[in-house]
Structure 1
Amino acid sequence: MSDAASSRRSASGPGAAEDDGAASAARALGARIRALRKSRGMTLTQVAAQAELSHSFLSQVERGLERMSMTSLFRVAQALGTTQQALLTDDAEAAPRSPGAFHVFRAREATPLDAGGSPVRVLARDHPRFVPMVMSGTFTDDLWWVHDEEEFVYVLEGTMVVSLDGEEFALEPGDAVYYPGGIRHRWRTGAGETVRVLTVKEGKAGAV
């Protein structure tokens, strides 16, 4: 998973509206990170050091000029004492949720995050009870993930291997796996192979 700069196309070119949506989403995420960092009384340097990121990169993220990877967002969330889901779905400009409120996700909606080399589609907003995301790309098992939230993963296309506390399971299209919080896990795909998955995490645990 690598961090990549947001694309900058001409406002008059095809896909300009989609690019504008991605830029807007990146600015919103950066603003949430900056606001939470300041509320914690932390400097850019402190958060960057704890998240193992460069000061200049985090500064660009807060200004909405860089796209983050899931790994980087996870580390920033840990440094700020929150979760990826809280940072991704807390829309400070949205109207307060009313009982029975709903959100229809459109395919054109953009999210400022990468995983496996491709954009992550976050299919929820405004601190939902659970956060569904569609991820696609190539994954390596060089990092163990551990978080408090429960997680469900369903393979849409391709194949991958999921490791849970050292035990491995090969998943094909139509296969799924669920694991509770606190379980060490990681994913990997074969060399040159890609996979597309739907993953659902709890959205409330650890939220600000």
Structure 2
Amino acid sequence: MLLIVSGRDDAGSTAPQFVTRIGGRIRALRKQRGWSVQRLAEAGTVSRRMLTQIELGQANPSLATVDRVARALDTDFAALALPSAEAEGGGAEGALVWQAPDGSHALLLGATEEPRAELWRWTLAPAGRYDAEPDRPGAQEIHHVLSGRLTLAVETGARVLGPGQSAVIASDQRYAYLNEEAETAVFMRVVTGA
């Protein structure tokens, strides 16, 4: 589903609250199924050690890794990532899922189940970059720039979008978001089919 970059790049990471939330939810779903850590690790194509660290909130997993584990549990990234209304005050501001030392960050604002779609708000600081891993075949993203300039780099080339401009890309390939300007770039992202 999401993101998540080579899940993330060297300058960025998943947010601590997000890591704790998804770890607890993954563990609870695994135990509900009666699965061992090893069984889920194999189903989610992640190492047993990494999965244990994720469940304990000690790992900094890529978003792609979280998505693979979610699929293995027959759920989706948003179900693991978004705050629950009851437990966490409604999540009106979304879930901080990714952040970088330069102030770049990504908020998952909401999602639908069927058809699957996610709504994100991204902020990229000047010189900010996010490298993503491919989503499932057929997945797409719609981007709409609110301020600044966003460069979408895909295998076939790059496209620069300014304020008010939108574009659709296939996200079943390696791609990246870049801000090559001096002004912060803010954009909305809708993910479908991931």
* 1:76, distance to aligned residue in structure 2 (A): 1.5
Instruction: Please give the alpha-carbon distance, in whole angstroms, between the structure 2 residues aligned to 1:189 and 1:158.
Output: 10
Against the structure 1 CA distance between its residues 161 and 178, is the aligned structure 2 distance closer, same or farther, given a 3 Å change threshold?
A: closer
How far apart, in 2, do the equivalents of 1:65 and 1:92 lie?
25
Structure 1 equivalent of residue 119 of structure 2: 132
Judged with a 3 Å threshold, the aligned counterparts in structure 2 of structure 1 residues 46 and 130 are, in CA distance, closer, same or farther, namely: same
Q: Determine if contact 1:2/1:114 at 8 Å carries over to the other structure.
A: no
1:33 equivalenced with 2:30 (yes/no): no
Larger strand share, 1 or 2: 2
Distance 1:71 1:29 in 2: 13
Matches of 1:160 and 1:116, distance apart in 2: 18
For the 8 Å contact 1:91–1:126, the answer to whether it is kept is no
Structure of higher CA gyration radius: 1
Secondary structure of the 2:92 match is coil
Cα pair 2:46 2:65 within 8 Å, conserved: yes
Residue 121 of structure 1 aligns with an amino acid whose one-letter code is: L
Pick from 182, 187, 199 the counterpart of residue 189 of structure 2.
199
Could you tell me which amino acid in structure 1 is paired with residue 129 of structure 2? T
Q: For residues 175 and 47 of structure 2, what CA distance do their matches in structure 1 show?
A: 26
RMSD: 4.1
Q: Check the 8 A contact 1:33/1:87 in 2, yes or no.
A: yes
Structure 2: runs of 5+ lacking an equivalent: 1-7
Alignment of 1:162-173 (within 5 A): 162-163=153-154, 168=157, 170-173=159-162
> Which residue does the alignment assign to 1:85?
78
* 2:41 aligned with 1:48: yes
Quote the offset at 1:41 in angstroms. Answer: 3.2
Instruction: Give yes or no for contact 1:26–1:61 (8 Å, CA) kept in 2.
Output: yes
User: Is 1:123 matched with 2:109?
Assistant: yes
Partner of 1:15: none
DSSP-derived class of the 1:188 partner: strand
TM-score, length-scaled by structure 1: 0.59
Distance 1:189 1:153, change over 3 A: closer
1:1-208 matches, cutoff 5 A: 1-2=8-9, 23-89=16-82, 91=84, 93-94=86-87, 104-105=92-93, 111=96, 113-114=97-98, 119-124=105-110, 131-135=118-122, 136=124, 137-140=128-131, 143-146=133-136, 151-155=141-145, 156-163=147-154, 168=157, 170-174=159-163, 175-178=165-168, 184-189=172-177, 193=180, 196-201=186-191
State the partner residue of 2:3.
none
Kindly tell me the number of residue pairs found equivalent between the two proteins: 173
Alignment check: 8 A CA contact 1:57 1:66 kept: yes
| Matches of 1:5 and 1:185, distance apart in 2 | 21
> Residue 35 of structure 1: CA displacement?
1.5
Counterpart Cα distance in 2 of 1:126 and 1:161: 25
C-alpha deviations, 1:125-182, integer Å up to 9, x for none? 897x8532233442346x422267764222344432354xx655513223322468xx
Deviation per residue, 1:20-76 (Å, 9 max, x gap) = xx6444322211111222233332223223434332222222122333322221222
8 Å contact kept, 1:25–1:110? yes
Q: Greater relative contact order: 1 or 2 (C-alpha under 8 angstroms, separation 6 or more)?
A: 2
